[in-house]
């Protein structure tokens, strides 16, 4: 089975490539710029045709949440038009598409975890562009799985886990928002889920349960609780540690509003595909342990927080912005 995943730099793409390494039953080809550029729809079909996939994984996206408020046209070009073009190309090739979407299609006002049938109501341009992408994918290719996920982290790229560890190496206290709740989700688990679903699509030619699914880590927490667990795990492995101070979203106003509740129920995916992600604490411990194993001097190489898509420095602390899937 050959999967073509859009985007070379994303956490899910990297996790898929790693998950397929050494396996005889699956091959993953990451296709990205300049060969495939979602902002240039004319590049999509030729790039995917060259990859000769059995299934297309649509993972590339525009994820700059605040910047999207000023770049609406670019966000929609990539997340809506571009995503639709990927699904259209898959349809032309006669193969299914697995498209990654986001918790940001919801407004966060529900009391409890969102299910797939809940009404969507994005708060900003980013969420609206991703919702438009879902609609474009569904319209372009009836054989689609749209996987909404949230709070993605991994050993790859820039993400919340790596940023928290880097900051703890430099300071004694880190302030993190405590009034946004969700399901931390390892990109390693997302990759495993995609491979599981892809195998089902390959083996079950009569599969008819195409549509929207939620796919997130087990359990729930807020950003500050996530940060505390990361740092407690780091300390247990002899890594950096800092005190986490709770702050409110209101302590750091942003251009784009964030949903206070990003909790997603993954029960439908578990029921249809017989697979569920690990409990978020266990998955996070695994990623932190792996980062520690990469070398005791890794902290300075975790990246510059000023460019991190998840955290921005504020007068009172730090504010999670968005993961880069």
Question: Active-site residues: which are they?
Answer: 126
Question: 25: exposed, middle or buried (C-beta count within 10 Å: 0-12, 13-18, 19+)?
Answer: exposed
Q: How far is 176 from 225, CA to CA, in rounded Å?
A: 9
Cβ contacts of residue 101 below 8 Å, gap of 6+? 130, 131, 133, 134, 146, 147, 148, 149, 212
Start-end of H helices in the chain: 11-20, 44-51, 65-68, 72-76, 83-93, 125-140, 160-168, 187-203, 223-236, 267-273, 280-293
Q: Which two tokens stand for residue 284?
A: 């996070």
Q: State the CB neighbour count (10 A cutoff) for residue 221.
A: 21
Phi, psi angle pair for 39, to nearest 5°: -75, -10
Task: Count CA atoms closer than 13 A to 45's CA, side-chain side.
Answer: 9
Cβ(105)–Cβ(134) below 8 Å:
yes
Q: Which two tokens stand for residue 81?
A: 């038009």
Q: Which two tokens stand for residue 230?
A: 């990361």
Dihedral sign (CA 319, 224, 108, 7):
positive
SS3 58: strand
Cβ(184)–Cβ(229) below 8 Å:
no
């Amino acid at each position: 089975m050959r999967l073509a995943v859009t985007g070379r730099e994303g956490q899910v793409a990297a996790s898929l490539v790693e998950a397929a390494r050494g396996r005889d039953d699956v091959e993953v080809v990451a296709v990205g710029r300049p060969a495939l550029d979602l902002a240039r729809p004319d590049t999509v079909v030729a790039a995917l045709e060259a990859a000769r996939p059995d299934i297309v994984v649509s993972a590339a996206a525009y994820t700059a949440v605040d910047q999207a408020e000023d770049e609406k046209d670019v966000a929609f070009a990539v997340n809506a038009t571009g995503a639709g073009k990927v699904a259209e190309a898959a349809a032309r090739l006669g193969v299914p598409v697995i498209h990654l979407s986001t918790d940001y299609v919801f407004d966060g006002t529900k009391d409890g975890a969102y299910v797939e049938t809940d009404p969507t109501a994005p708060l900003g341009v980013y969420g609206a562009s991703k919702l438009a992408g879902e609609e474009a994918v569904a319209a372009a290719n009836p054989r689609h799985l749209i996987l909404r996920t949230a709070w993605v982290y991994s050993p790859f790229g820039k993400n919340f886990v790596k940023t928290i560890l880097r900051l703890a190496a430099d300071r004694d206290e880190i302030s993190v928002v405590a009034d946004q709740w969700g399901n931390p989700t390892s990109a390693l688990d997302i990759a495993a889920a995609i491979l599981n679903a892809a195998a089902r699509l390959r083996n079950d030619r009569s599969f008819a349960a195409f549509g929207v699914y939620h796919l997130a880590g087990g359990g729930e927490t807020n950003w500050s609780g996530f940060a505390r667990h990361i740092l407690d795990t780091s300390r247990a492995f002899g890594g950096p540690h800092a005190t986490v101070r709770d702050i409110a979203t209101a302590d750091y106003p942003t251009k784009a509003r964030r949903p206070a509740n990003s909790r997603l129920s993954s029960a439908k995916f578990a029921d249809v595909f017989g697979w569920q992600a690990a409990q978020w604490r266990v998955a996070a411990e695994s990623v932190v342990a792996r980062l520690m194993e990469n070398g005791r001097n890794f902290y300075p190489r975790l990246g510059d927080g000023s460019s991190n898509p998840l955290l921005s420095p504020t007068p009172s602390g730090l504010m999670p912005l968005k993961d880069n899937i």
